[in-house]
Amino acid sequence: MDSKALEYLEQRRAHCANERKRLQEEGYGDEADFEKIKENVYDIFKTVLLVARKQYGDDQTKICGFFREKLEQIPSGWRAAYEEAKDHDDIKAMHIENIKLGVAEDIKKNIFQEEGEKR
């Protein structure tokens, strides 16, 4: 899981960075900001994977378990922030939290589906 997942996260982060730059150049500031949010989420989970690697060495089972745990734990805060924004009718904040949650789902689907570890 570990090296393919790291490669996937870096590729997606780089794609978002390129899209952000393109959108900024074309004058689409809001859309560029949304790509920056996606880029940050991919970067967060890349860091989580690197921490797991450092902590567990070559133990793929423990790395995978740690990563899965964080892939549930971190987005739970985003779900709570989404609900709070919804309670206050803050459409922009809802959209931002929804983007983060969407990236987390993308990561879960693509990393664990490749391993045959469907949830």
pLDDT in tens, 57-108: 999 999 999 999 999 999 999 999 999 999 999 999 999 999 999 999 999 9
Taking the whole predicted model, whether its pTM rises above 0.85 is answered as yes
Which sequence spans correspond to the domains of the chain?
2-114
Contacts of range 98-101, beta carbons closer than 8 Å, 24 or more positions apart = 99/34, 99/37, 99/38, 99/41, 100/37, 100/41, 100/75, 101/75
- Residue 113 is predicted with a pLDDT of 78
Name residues whose C-beta falls within 8 Å of residue 25's C-beta, 6 or more positions apart in sequence: none
